[in-house]
Structures are given as C-alpha cells and as structure tokens.
Structure 1
Amino acid sequence: MSHAFDARALEKIDSPEATAAAYFSHLRSPMATPEDYLAFDSWFARDERNRAAWAKVERAWEGAGRAADDPRIAAFREHARTSSRPAPLWRRPMPALAAVLALVAIVSAPFMYRIATDRQPAASSALAGHTIAAGIGQQASFHMTDGSVVTVNTASKVVVAESELRRLARLDYGEAFFEVAKNARKPFVVEVGKVSVTALGTAFSVRNLDGAIHVALAEGRVRVDVPGKDSAAKSVILEPGTSLSFARGVLSESKSDVTRMLAWRQGMLSFDRTPLAEAVAEINRYTQQEIAIVSPEIAERRISGSFRIGITRGFLQSLEAAGIAHVRSETPARVELAAP
C-alpha cells in the first residue's frame, strides 16, 4: 500500500542534507506530483542551508547525472507552474541506489553529509554552456538572460550555464568579474578548481593563475568554499572590501583595495607600493612583449602608480624616470630591466 508524500513531515527530518536527499529521491520517482514540486520550491527558497544541502546531494549523485539537469524534472516543474491538472507520469523506475541513498539519509543524516562533502564538483568537461574567452591584452563580456554580466580579463576563459535551480560559471583560467542579478531561488555559483564561490546578488572577481585562486568582493556578500583537511570543506563569508586567496592548500583573508584591484575593467593597472617583480608579472599578462628583470637586486623595489593596459612604454619610462630600473635592451619580443 502506498502513502501520499507529506512535505511537512519530510521537512521535520533532522538535517537539511537528509531532507534534500529525500526530496531528490522522491522527485525522480513516478509518484511525484505538481504539488510536491511546488513544496520543494518553497523549501529550496526558504533558507541558504537548504540550497547548500541540495547542491551537496547533486554532487554526491554526479555518477548518475544531476537531478537539476534531468529533462523529466525540468518539464514536470514547468508543467506544475502552468497547469493545475496532473502532469503525465514518467514510468522510468527510480534507480535502486537512489532509494538506498534516501533511506540512508533519513536513518543516518551525518553519514549522508560525509558522502556529500567528500565528492568534488563535476569535471570541467561535464559543463556544457556558453564560453566567454579573451586573448592576451583583450577583454570580453557576456550578458546572461537574467541580467547578470560576466566580463573576462586578459588570457581568460569562462563557461556559463543555467539550470532550473542555479546559475553556474566555471573559470578555467585567468580572471573574470561577475555582476550577479539577484535571484534568491537560483544562486549563482562560480567553480574554479576545487573552490566554489556562491552569491545571490553581488559583484566580485575571481582569478586563477597557475592554480593560485583569488576572490575579491566589490559589493554584496559571497560564500567561498575551499577544500580542507580530510576532504572537509571550509566556508568563508566575504564582506565588501575584502579578498581571499587560496594557494597550495593555504587560505588567507584580508582587507583589500578592491577598486585598485579591479582597475583593469577601466583599462588600467594600479599599483600601490608593489614589489617591482609583482608589478612586472602583472604587466606581462597583458602583452606579448615580455618584460624580464635581469638584476635580482631591483626585484623587491616598490612602485606606485597607474598605467594604461597594453602600453608598456609608459611603464618603462616611469621606472627609468624614478631611478628604479634601467632598460638594458629591448626587442619586439623582450625587454630587459637592469639596475640603474
């Protein structure tokens, strides 16, 4: 004998992770009704912890495909919103493992939590969507249908996609700025390596250079999830004017001059008592003409100033005028900086 699905009883389960797992199992079954999907919508939108729990269950189910991308569920949800009549039922049986997953979650929520957090986001090849890429010295922008804008910086690539439950961007390499339209029901998630950045309505940049990940927040709030010891994820909430770095397993957070860090969006690079070696590395990201420091003793000399992107001549002349460095030789492909 079957029993009607009781959303209120389901949401009394002792953890959001267990509730998410049970919803996941039920919504993939032929027993789900339009009312069940509307109940899920309400639960999902109610609390950030619910959305995080659902994302964990999705990741835990990666081997069998994401529920958010299941065309049966997408079509069923759309039908539920546009019709009061029951939608046709799909007769595909629920996989046995899904039933086991839901049962384990209800009986032992902590066990389900470990399963969800131990799994990593999908491999980059699994994301299909729109690609935004820029070559050296270039920038490119993409306007999403919800009003969000993704701007990629020099030598960068981002892939964006959207599902029923969230908006997703994957930063493969380089740097991008995200202006996110507010939508509490569809969080905006940026995946970069094993790090994820989640925002509801905000503006922030994410950089991935040689595996060193940097997040800078201009406005709003974002949650950054990074892998920790024993595969346990660590979450950090950033406030405006703060930035986070994650490199070689080391996490650091600090107050930052985000306006200066984002000057590239106005075609400028801005330095404030920045070591010459660091400034040169940043300049080199935007030009085919490599600047090389050949005198190690000048690498740590500090420089300040703003410089137009792509015009290295002004940068080099400023170094010589300030007595910081001397251009020893120059070709179209390489400039060598030596001690004055």
Structure 2
Amino acid sequence: MMNHSYHDERTPGALERQAYAWVRQVAAGKMTRADGLALKHWCTENPAHAAAFTEARRRWQQLGQASELVLARNPAAMQAEAAPRSRVSSPARRAFLGGAVCATAATAAVVVFRPPLNLWPSFAELNADYRTAIGEQRTLALSDNVNVELNTRTSIAVKSGRAGVAGIDLIAGEAAVDIVNANEVFVVAAGAGRSAAQNARFEVRAGANGVCVTCLQGRVQVSHTAGRVTLAAREQLVYDDKTLGNIASIDPAAVSAWREGSLRFSETPLAEVVEEINRYRPGRVVLLDKKMAARAVTGRFRLDALDKALAQIQRSLGLQISNLPGGVVLLS
C-alpha cells in the first residue's frame, strides 16, 4: 500500500506531487482495494485533494492522447526507443511533475506510454470486492451452486441475499457465470440491465459501447428499462443505457474462447482485433494506418503469446511493426 504523508502539504507543489503519485500508481495498474480506499479517503477529506487529483488525471490523459497524435503524425519519434532510458526518464519526469507539457515530442511519446493507457479505474472499480489485472483471469466459487470466472480487467461487487450470495454487480469487464440448480435466482447487474438465471451458463461483458449478454446453456432472463427478453442457449444480445438490442445466434466456442486461453477471430476488422488484444496485454498496440482498420483478420491466437499473434497479423496483412518501451507496439 502506498505511504502518503500529508505533513508537507504547505510546501508549494507538495499537494500536486501527491496527486501525481496517486495518478502514476493507478495508471500502472498497481492499486489494491486498500489503496483504493486510501485514495478515496484522501480525495474526500479535503476538497483541495480531490481538485488536485482531478487535475493530475486530466493532464495524464491529455499526455496520452497527445503522444498517440505525435506518433501518428511524426513516425520519426519512434527513434527515441534507441536512446538510453536514463536520458529520457529524468527530464520527462520533471516536465510531468511540473505540470508542463514541454518535453520533446519523442521523449513525451515514449514516457507517457510507459504506464498502460486507457486503464483508469473509477472509484467503483477500486472499491470492488474482486478485480483482475491486465491479462489476469480468476475463478470464484461464490456458493456450492455458482461459479464465476472473471476475465481480464474485470471488477465485480458481490451482493448477498437471504440464503447467501444473490448476485454480482459487473462494474467493468467480463464475467462468465455457471449456475447449477441454485435455490435462488442469481442476478448479474450491469449498466441499465439485469441478467437472471437459476440453472444456466452465461457471460456478461460491460464495455464502452454497452453490455453484451450471451447464453451458452439453459435460459437467461434479461430485464432492462426498455423491456424484458429471455435468451436461450447459443443466443446473445447487446443493450446500452436506453435500448435493448435484438437477439442474435452465436457460436459458443468463439465467444468463450478466452476461457480456454485463446482469442478467435473470423473476418473481424483489424481495428476490433487490436482493441481486443489491448485488453489482454500491458502497454498498448496502436494502429497508425487507419486505412487498414477495416482489413479482415481470421485466426486463433493464444492469450499467453499475443506478441506472436501481432507478428502473424503483421505478416499476413503486410504491415510494418515497431516496438517501443513499455510494451507499446506500432502497426503501420
């Protein structure tokens, strides 16, 4: 757990340094639940703390967005990879801590990418009962009748009922639920909907574009502000805050490939493949050539060998691949 001292907050810049220290720890994916509670307490005990954290987070995100733009417009910035790390880390760190985006384009691009981008947990995620890190998967036996498997970057809160565990709140990520003749209905709440079953196998994934519910076995009732539907085996639907999508047939083997340690794609646009791979590996894969975004990818790739998968994709589509520090891979 991070040891944050408050005795020097009157020193100019001390509060800012504390906020940036929290920012770096969160962005690096090293927060435990205890750290999350400590951060929440630090932000709520003084409005100045919350303001400092919000500003540090905003600048960090801006640096990440700016660095992607720099790399897209100036591929020569990749040459910074060859520079000794000691030459770029200290000036960039001073520029970041000082709150000024004044490093060179190449230095900023390399250093900003070192912590994983787009991995900013909300307070709800930090206070979840269970969380998985990048590439981590975890199986939980919530009762004698219910097992829940958490995919990468997943956060859940467990809800209790009269006879034990009544369900979970899926805060972020993806969970597979296996229920065998439970005494009570087990409910997965995600976004604006709730998925309930007593004897079924189903998966729920919460992402930026909505929530996807897939029934693999049995029947799952999905309740939403826009209506209620029942999914049978091999059926799937997607909903967002306002609408409940149509039921579609799916291939269970493809949908649940992650539970077997792999990803399967069939004529999937490259942009979607890159987005999916980014969920499972530290760093970030950046597709610089947007004209290639719609190119179709078909294949099965091991989750423990995603860099090999990227090499295969690069060869099959005739792309250029460049590796930067911090697990950053540029496809062009």
For the criterion TM > 0.5, the same-fold answer is yes
Deviations 1:209-239, CA, capped at 9 Å, x for gaps: 12610011110000001112xxxxx011101
Pairing 1:173-212 to 2, within 5 Å after superposition: 173-183=172-182, 185-210=183-208, 212=210
Letter of the structure 2 residue corresponding to residue 272 of structure 1 = S
1:257 is aligned to 251
Q: CA deviation at 1:276?
A: 0.4
1:332 is aligned to 326
Letter of the structure 1 residue corresponding to residue 312 of structure 2 = S
Aligned counterparts of 1:324 and 1:214: Cα–Cα separation in 2: 33
Aligned counterparts of 2:324 and 2:243: Cα–Cα separation in 1: 38
1:135 is aligned to 133
Aligned counterparts of 1:260 and 1:318: Cα–Cα separation in 2: 19
Q: 1:240 aligns with which of 211, 233, 238?
A: 233
DSSP 3-state at the match of 2:129: strand
1:29 is aligned to none
CA RMSD across the alignment: 2.1
1:171 is aligned to 170
Aligned counterparts of 2:243 and 2:251: Cα–Cα separation in 1: 21
Deviations 1:276-316, CA, capped at 9 Å, x for gaps: 00011000001112001101110000001111114222112
Q: CA deviation at 1:324?
A: 4.5
Corresponding pairs, count: 206
2:102 is aligned to none
Q: In 2, are the aligned partners of 1:152 and 1:177 still within 8 Å (CA)? A: yes
Letter of the structure 1 residue corresponding to residue 193 of structure 2 = V
1:225 is aligned to 223
Q: CA deviation at 1:193?
A: 2.0
> Please, what TM-score do these two structures have when normalized by structure 2?
0.58
1:79 is aligned to none
DSSP 3-state at the match of 2:326: coil
Q: Is 2:266 the counterpart of 1:267? A: no
Pairing 1:63-142 to 2, within 5 Å after superposition: 131-142=129-140
Aligned counterparts of 1:207 and 1:275: Cα–Cα separation in 2: 20
Q: In 2, are the aligned partners of 1:328 and 1:337 still within 8 Å (CA)? A: yes
Q: In 1, are the aligned partners of 2:289 and 2:331 still within 8 Å (CA)? A: yes
Q: In 2, are the aligned partners of 1:132 and 1:140 still within 8 Å (CA)? A: no
Aligned counterparts of 1:211 and 1:173: Cα–Cα separation in 2: 12
> Please, what TM-score do these two structures have when normalized by structure 1?
0.57
Q: CA deviation at 1:194?
A: 1.9
Provide structure 2 residue ranges, at least 5 long, that are not aligned to the other structure: 1-122
Aligned counterparts of 2:308 and 2:190: Cα–Cα separation in 1: 34
Q: CA deviation at 1:160?
A: 2.1
Provide structure 1 residue ranges, at least 5 long, that are not aligned to the other structure: 1-123, 229-233
